[in-house]
């Protein structure tokens, strides 16, 4: 038997276990979200020497001192966005590209912004390898969003901010949803769900505690 084929089968099994034990068992119910986690190979997005740990119930280090988030936390945030297949979505904090790859399975178009050039290259390479064609990666300060493609049906912020950036709220469609970790410390936040209810009105809910790397930018933390 071919070693590579064996390895891929074992990753597929671990992926199924992850979905059952880390996601379903903890209450993730959105079938599109679960299907995306069954499809996207997380081992492709972690550094090569950590492939064996790809399905652990934890964040893992990626280049630039950043992390690929814990699968459950990503699933929880994606579920809050109540995504539909026709949606156009903005992600802030591309990192490895894993969350963008998950989004690409669920919605029509994904725009993702990353401030570190090294990670822009890292994510683009991996998204191309797995054949993602509906994801666009931009190198810039995502605390300002990506105005050229706005408005978005949903926005996912994958880094922690001192407050909800005004630029991001304004890039939502009416009835659009934004999920972002917000906290007064650089390393601890609560998930905040923002819904745009009108041209100048928003509803905001504070949810579970999380620990993300900081959002560094004009409408985030200082360098």
99 part of the interface to ligand SAH, by CB under 6 A: yes
Query: What is the separation of C-alpha 17 from the centre of its chain, rounded to a whole number of angstroms?
Result: 21
**Interaction between residue 171 and ligand SAH (CB under 6 A):** no
Q: Which residue minimizes CB distance to ligand SAH? A: 95
The answer to whether residue 196 forms part of the interface with ligand SAH (CB under 6 A) is: no
93 lies in the site for ligand SAH, by CB under 6 A: yes
Task: Give the N- to C-terminal CA distance of the chain in Å, as an integer.
Answer: 51
Q: Is 207 exposed, middle or buried (0-12, 13-18, 19+ CB in 10 A)?
A: middle
Binders of ligand SAH in range 65-84 (CB under 6 A)? 66-69
Stretches 19-27, 80-88, 92-100, 199-207: which one binds ligand SAH (CB under 6 A)?
92-100
Say whether 184 is catalytic: no
- Cα–Cα distance measured from residue 32 to residue 88, given in angstroms and rounded to the nearest whole number: 15
> Is position 220 an interface residue for ligand SAH (rule: CB under 6 A)?
yes
Radius of gyration of the chain (CA): 17
Q: Is 113 in the site for ligand SAH (CB under 6 A)?
A: yes
- Distance in angstroms (rounded) separating the CA atoms of residues 53 and 35: 21
Should residue 172 be labelled a site residue for ligand SAH when binding is judged by CB under 6 A?
no
Which is the catalytic residue, given 69, 79, 96, 158?
69
Cα 165 to Cα 124: distance, rounded to the nearest angstrom: 26
d(CA 223, CA 214): 10
Residues 115-154 touching ligand SAH, rule: CB under 6 A, are 115-116, 119, 141-143
How many of the other CB atoms lie within 10 Å of CB of 16? 13
Only segment of 1-9, 113-121, 125-133, 183-191 that touches ligand SAH (CB under 6 A): 113-121
Q: Does residue 174 contact residue 198 with C-beta atoms inside 8 Å?
A: yes
List contacts with ligand SAH (CB under 6 A).
64, 66-69, 92-93, 95-96, 98-99, 113-116, 119, 141-143, 158-159, 213, 215-217, 220
């Amino acid at each position: 038997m071919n070693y590579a084929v064996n390895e891929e089968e074992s990753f597929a099994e671990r992926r199924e276990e992850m979905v059952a034990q880390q996601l379903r068992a903890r209450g993730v119910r959105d079938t599109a979200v679960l299907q995306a986690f069954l499809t996207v190979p997380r081992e492709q997005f972690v550094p090569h020497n950590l492939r064996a740990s790809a399905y652990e119930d934890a964040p893992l280090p990626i280049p630039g001192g950043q992390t690929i988030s814990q699968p459950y936390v990503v699933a929880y945030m994606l579920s809050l966005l109540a995504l539909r297949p026709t949606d156009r979505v903005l992600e802030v904090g591309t990192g490895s590209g894993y969350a963008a790859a998950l989004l690409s399975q669920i919605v029509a178009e994904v725009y993702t912004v990353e401030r570190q050039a090294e990670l822009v290259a890292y994510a683009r390479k991996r998204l191309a390898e797995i054949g993602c064609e509906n994801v666009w990666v931009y190198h810039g300060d995502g605390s300002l969003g990506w105005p050229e493609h706005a408005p978005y049906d949903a926005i996912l912020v994958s880094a922690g901010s001192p407050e909800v950036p005004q630029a991001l709220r304004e890039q939502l469609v009416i009835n659009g949803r934004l999920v972002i970790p917000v906290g007064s410390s650089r390393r601890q936040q609560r998930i905040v769900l923002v819904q745009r209810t009108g041209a100048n009105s928003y509803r905001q809910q504070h949810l579970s505690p999380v620990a993300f790397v900081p959002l560094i930018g004009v409408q985030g933390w200082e360098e």
